[in-house]
Amino acid sequence: MTVLSLLAFAGLCLVLALTPGPDTFLVLRYSMGRARDGIAAAAGTAIGSLVWAALVGVGLAALLEQSAEVFRIVKIAGGLYLIYLGVAAFLASRKSSHAAADPTAATAAQVARRRSTPSLLAGLLSTMLNPKVGLFFIAVVPQFVSAHAGFGETMLLGAIDGLIGMLYLVAVALLASRMIAWLRRPRVTRALERISAGVLSALGIGTVIAGAEG
């Protein structure tokens, strides 16, 4: 593997990272509360990329390429998970609107929210249940490794993909949290949370339908 091939792969990863997808909206959703939660979700997606790279490295993810049924199941599972995240986000926004009317309840809700850190796991599961990530490593990674590539080269490319994706998503999280801090009006925050919840749900429904039809 040459430096030129690494740079070419990094450029491709950057282009893919800049393309909005479920991970971007997931990070936006968690950044509505705290930048730390959005960053944790970004870290989860990076870990997910590493796990996919490891699976490809040992040949397990090739099942997605060989079995249309496995691909369809993973795709539907990923879509259902996105729907779950969207519904959970919408319900959370409703709770926050009720909490805003009761300062005592709002304080308790904030404490509970800080103690709960599901964003890292959500980012990890979102990436792991996205078969397109696995197919990316199956189809694209072999184009950038040497003829007798070992497990280490595959993991290196996985680390590059995860790092670039994470840096972009961290920037999204920081920007979103700054915007929310600037627009700290509860009505605006609830509207943004519900929009992100709707987008996640729509992506999930579309993924489930596509998987069922496939």
Burial class, 127, CB count within 10 angstroms (exposed 0-12 / middle 13-18 / buried 19+): buried
Residue, of 14 and 211, whose pLDDT is higher:
14
Lowest mean pLDDT among 99-103, 187-191, 200-204, 205-209: 99-103
Q: CA quadruple 116, 120, 126, 129: dihedral positive or negative?
A: negative
What is the separation of C-alpha 90 from the centre of its chain, rounded to a whole number of angstroms? 18
User: What's the CA gap between 72 and 207, in Å, rounded?
Assistant: 10
Please give the structure tokens belonging to residue 119: 């964003």
Indicate whether 46 pLDDT > 90: yes
Mean pLDDT of 87-104: 58
User: What's the CA gap between 197 and 85, in Å, rounded?
Assistant: 7
User: What's the CA gap between 129 and 92, in Å, rounded?
Assistant: 23
What would the pLDDT profile of 2-11 be if each residue is shown by its tens digit? Answer: 788 888 889 9
Task: State the average pLDDT for the chain.
Answer: 75
pLDDT band at 44 (very low <50, low <70, confident <90, very high): very high
Indicate whether 137 pLDDT > 70: yes
pLDDT of residue 206: 75
User: What's the CA gap between 137 and 101, in Å, rounded?
Assistant: 48
3-class secondary structure per residue, 37-83: HHHHHHHHHHHHHHHHHHHHHHCCCHHHHHCHHHHHHHHHHHHHHHH
Please give the structure tokens belonging to residue 36: 């730390």
Mean pLDDT of 28-45: 87
| Integer angstrom CA distances of residue 69 from 72, 75, 95, 99 | 5, 10, 39, 45
pLDDT band at 201 (very low <50, low <70, confident <90, very high): confident
Indicate whether 43 pLDDT > 80: yes
pLDDT of residue 62: 63
Indicate whether 181 pLDDT > 70: no
pLDDT of residue 112: 42
3-state helix, strand and coil shares in percent for the chain, rounded to the nearest 5: 85, 0, 15
Phi-psi region of 152 (alpha: psi -120 to 50; beta: other; left: phi over 0): alpha
Mean pLDDT of 148-169: 86
What would the pLDDT profile of 52-66 be if each residue is shown by its tens digit? Answer: 888 887 776 666 666
